[in-house]
Structure 1
């Protein structure tokens, strides 16, 4: 990762809400299932996460979007989720079929969940990766 928070070719970075219990559960899920170590993570509360969100037109102070960066490309919300799951390989590739549901419908449901996630799942302290996970997190 360069000092200007660019994403290197071949690298995949997920910007997530580090204080959201649901979002941290998603990161735990990915750490368990991403056997190739393909994805790296940046909490939106950190300098790298904030920079990446702003660069792609997302408000770092309104964490309602999910951002996936792969090289020079960016995906948000349900497009990002489908791409991440598909990137795990195997059975998870079927998640890419979610594109059969029109994006406006998918994203309305996603935004509804995102707006209510703190109330339904709670808030936690920002995640501190353990020694084994540290290389997968950008800051």
Structure 2
């Protein structure tokens, strides 16, 4: 299954901010290019098994390449197209700086946005976009 997936976003399924972000991406994904799985799913574990253990908020599998943190977020924005691809300008900032900001938000996401007990169930319309 791993070889068939080109654009997969792995996200924290119990994070309110992450769920809202996924819903936003689905709404803006006019090319129907993204698929999603929660980090708590079996398929996500296959992709993140070789990543650092603190990889707990976003992973973007783009054309078989695994991207994390701010790099993942920027490539998702780029792949969404205009106007979001304008955010690519932030790739000029050193990754360590971008990831420091990203880590700060990720560390506080539950406190700021809340947490749910289990992964959100996708609507009937969006169910085909999720891989379990």
TM-score of the superposed pair, with normalisation by structure 1: 0.87
In the TM superposition, what are the counterparts of 1:25-44 in structure 2 within 5 Å? 25-44=20-39
The alpha carbon displacement at 1:46 in A equals 1.2
Aligned partners of 2:3, 2:20: CA distance in 1, in Å?
24
Classify 1:40/1:122 alpha carbon distance in 2 versus 1 (closer, same or farther; 3 Å). same
Alignment gaps of 5+ in structure 2: none
Count residues with an aligned counterpart. 131
Aligned with residue 57 of structure 1, among 13, 36, 51: 51
RMSD: 1.5
Three-state SS of the structure 2 residue aligned to 1:74 is strand
Superposition TM-score, scaled by structure 2 size: 0.92
Is 1:127 the counterpart of 2:123? The answer is no
- After superposition, the C-alpha distances for 1:33-59 in whole angstroms (9 at most, x for unaligned) are 0111111001011111222211x4143
> Residue 18 and residue 101 in structure 1: after superposition, are their counterparts in 2 closer, same or farther (change >3 A)?
same
Deviation at 1:65, TM superposition (A): 4.0
1:109 aligned to 93, 101, 105, which one? 101
Runs of 4+ in 1 over 4 A off after TM superposition: none
CA distance in 2, matches of 1:127, 1:58: 25
How do 1:41-120 residues align onto structure 2 when only pairs under 5 Å count? 41-54=36-49, 56-59=50-53, 62-120=54-112
Q: Quick check: 2:39–2:56 contact (8 Å CA) kept in 1? A: no
How far does residue 32 in structure 1 lie from its aligned partner after superposition?
0.7
Gaps of 5+ in 1: none
